[in-house]
Amino acid sequence: MECVSFLPLSHLAICGGTHGNEMSGVYMVRELRKQKLEKAGSVSITTVLSNPRAVDACKRYTETDLNRCFTSELLSAPITDLTPYELRRAQELNAQLGAKGSEEAVDLLCDLHNTTANMGLCFIFYSLDWVTLHIYKYIESKITSVPVRAVQLDIPVSEAYSLESVGKRGFTIEVGPQPHGVLRADIFNMVKEAVDLTIEWLQLFNSGRTFEGGELESYTLTKSIDYPRDPTDNEITAAIHPQLQDNDFKLLQPGDPIFLSFSGETVKYEGEELYPFFINECAYYEKKIAFHLARKITLTFPSISVKKDQE
Amino acid sequence: MECVSFLPLSHLAICGGTHGNEMSGVYMVRELRKQKLEKAGSVSITTVLSNPRAVDACKRYTETDLNRCFTSELLSAPITDLTPYELRRAQELNAQLGAKGSEEAVDLLCDLHNTTANMGLCFIFYSLDWVTLHIYKYIESKITSVPVRAVQLDIPVSEAYSLESVGKRGFTIEVGPQPHGVLRADIFNMVKEAVDLTIEWLQLFNSGRTFEGGELESYTLTKSIDYPRDPTDNEITAAIHPQLQDNDFKLLQPGDPIFLSFSGETVKYEGEELYPFFINECAYYEKKIAFHLARKITLTFPSISVKKDQE
C-alpha cells in the first residue's frame, strides 16, 4: 500500500466526566487544567469537563445519559422547557467543540471513561479511521504494563450517539476495573500514559514523521447478553459466574459457565465462540446488559504522513 | 473462666439495603424472601430491606445516611414535614424490630454491607458482646476461602448510630471488594455462607451446645486519615498509593507510601505502626476518609451456653 497523507491535526479535545461518576477522566481533566496544558508544540489542547452537574452529584447523569445525546438529530432538536439537562449540555458542547460534521470541528476528540469490568486499557472506535488506528497502534506498542485493546462499534457518523463523534476523528479510552465514584492510582496512571502518548503521536505526525502501515487485531461488537430474570418482577436471578467475572476478552466457548443463580445453579453459554467484554459493568444493569460479545478481526492499514503544503 | 449462660436467641433479623447501592445485602434479603425462610428450627427470622427508596434509586441514601440515624436521640425525635425520609424510615424499622433497648427488640440483628475496599469478610462490632464474639469465632473457623476478621468500634449503645444497635445484640457483616451498584457472585457467596453459619450457630446454641471460651484477634479503630487536598478548592490532590491500595489489614509502617499525587509525588506515612482498613471506600470520599487505622488487640472470652429453664 502506498502512503496516505492527511492535513495536520492541530486541535485536540480531551474530555472527562461525560459520565459524572467515572473519576479517572474527571481528575485527568482537572489535572491538565491545573498544569495549564493548552498547547503542546504544534497541538492546541482543549480540556472539557463534559457533565459538570453529574460530576458534582457523582452520578452517571442527572436526567439522561449524555453520551447518548450526540446524534445529528438530537444535536439539532429545538430546546424547550422539557429538554433534559444533558441534551442542552450536548448542544453546548457541540458548539464549543466546533460542531459535528463541520470544518470547525476539533481534529481529534478523546473521551475518557472507566468501567467496573476488567477491560485493561481499551480504545473504542465508532468508525474505521486510519489516523486513529495509527494512534492506537502507537500506544499499544508503547504500553506494556497492561493489556491494550481495540474495540470497534461500527455506526454511521450521523447516528453515532457518543461525544467523540463530534470531533473530525475521535475515540473513547475505556479503562478498568475501577468502581464508579472511586479513583485508583493504577487506573489513573494508565489514562495519563495514554493521553501523554496521544499528544506525543500528534506532535510527531504534524512534524512530518511517516507512520508505517501494518495490521492490528480488533474486537467487533456482535451482540449483548442480558442477565437471567424472574418473569414475574423482571428482577435478575443470577450474577455473572465467578469463572466469567474479570475474564474480559477471554474466548467464551459453548458450555462455559456464564451465570450463577442466587440459589446456586450454573447457567452455561450456548452459542458460537466469541469474546466477552464489559462483563458486569455497573451502568449496564439498567440497560439490561450483563456483557457484550465480540468477534476478533484483523484490520490492515496503510502508512500515513502529514500532507505537505505543496500537495 | 467458668461457663456463662444466656437466654435462648430465638429471633434473628437479617437486614440488607441499609445502603441502597450495596447489592450483596439487597439480593441476599430478596433471595431469603424468595425461599420464604421465616423459621429455621428454634430461630424465627425476619428479613428487612432497610432502605427501599434508596434501593430503587440504586443510591447509598436519598436524603441522609440511614445507617447514622439509629441513636436513641434520633429515634425519639418528633417527626415533622422537614424530617428526612431516612429518619422516618429509621423510626419505622425501630418499631418493626421491637425498639432499641427494649425487651421486645430482636435477639440478634445482622446487617449486610459491602465495600469497594479489599476487606474480605469482616464482622464489625459496636460493643463487646460474648455471644456475637462466639458467632464470629465459629464463622472464622469454618470459612477458609477468604480472610475473616473482627473490627471493633466501641461506642456507648445510646450513641450507637447504626442499624444493628437496634437489636439486643448485633453486628455488621462487611464484604469486599465490590463496586457499589454491582453484584459479584464471589462476594454474594461469602455473605450467603456467613448468614447460613450464623443461623446454624443460633440453632446449636439454642439446642444446648456449650461453646468453649478462648481468644480472638480484633482490630480496634484508632483514627481516620483524609486525602491530601488543595487548600484553595478543597479538592483531593492525590489517590491512594498503589502500594497501599487493596492492602487492607497489612501493617502500615512509618515511611510506607500512602498517597500518589496526580502530578506524580509520593506521600509517605508518618506515625506509629497501625493496620489500615476501608482503604479507598467509595462512600467515604464525602466523609473525608481515605482509610481508617486500627490497633490489633487480643480479646479473651468465656465459654457460653444457653440458660436452662431451671436456672
Give residue-wise pLDDT tens across range A250-270: 999 999 999 999 999 999 999
Interface of A with B (CB under 8 A): 27, 30-31, 34-35, 58, 116, 177, 179-186, 188, 235-236, 239-242, 245, 260, 262-263, 280, 282-283, 285
CATH code 2.20.25.160 region(s) in chain B: 222-293
- Per-residue pLDDT, averaged over B113-129, amounts to 94
Asked if the model's pLDDT at residue A158 lies above 80, the reply is no
Which class is B7-211 in CATH? alpha beta
Question: Of the candidates B35, B179, B241, which has its C-beta nearest A185's C-beta?
Answer: B241
| CATH T-level assignment (fold) for domain A4-217+300-306 | Aminopeptidase (3.40.630)
Asked if the model's pLDDT at residue B155 lies above 80, the reply is no
Chain A hits for B183, CB-CB cut-off 8 Å, are 236, 239, 280
CA distance B94 to B92: 5
> Do B219 and B55 form a contact (C-beta atoms < 8 A)?
no
CATH code 2.20.25.160 region(s) in chain A: 222-292
CATH code 3.40.630.10 region(s) in chain A: 4-217+300-306
CA distance A306 to A138: 16
ipTM confidence score: 0.92
Inter-chain residue contact B239 with A181, CB threshold 8 Å: no
| CATH T-level assignment (fold) for domain A222-292 | N-terminal domain of TfIIb (2.20.25)
Q: pTM to 2 decimals? A: 0.94
Give residue-wise pLDDT tens across range B176-228: 999 999 999 999 999 999 999 999 999 999 999 999 999 999 999 999 999 99
**Helix B185-206 vs helix B130-142: angle between axes, to the nearest 10 degrees?**
130
CATH code 3.40.630.10 region(s) in chain B: 7-211
Give residue-wise pLDDT tens across range A111-152: 999 999 999 999 999 888 999 999 999 999 999 999 999 999
CA atoms within 13 A on the CB side of B236: 27
> Which residue type does B86 have?
E
For residue A25, what is its C-alpha cell?
477522566
Give residue-wise pLDDT tens across range A25-55: 999 999 999 988 888 899 999 999 999 999 9
Inter-chain residue contact B262 with A182, CB threshold 8 Å: no
| CATH T-level assignment (fold) for domain B222-293 | N-terminal domain of TfIIb (2.20.25)
Inter-chain residue contact A27 with B285, CB threshold 8 Å: no
* DSSP output for A64-125: S-GGG--SHHHHTSPP-TTS-HHHHHHHHHHHHTT-TTSTTS-SEEEEEEE-SS--EEEEEE
Q: Which residue has the cell 464489625?
A: B124
For residue B221, give how far its alpha carbon lies from the nearest alpha carbon of chain A (Å): 23
pLDDT in the model for residue B310: 55
CA distance B256 to A124: 37
Q: Which residue has the cell 479503630?
A: B221
Inter-chain residue contact B30 with A179, CB threshold 8 Å: no
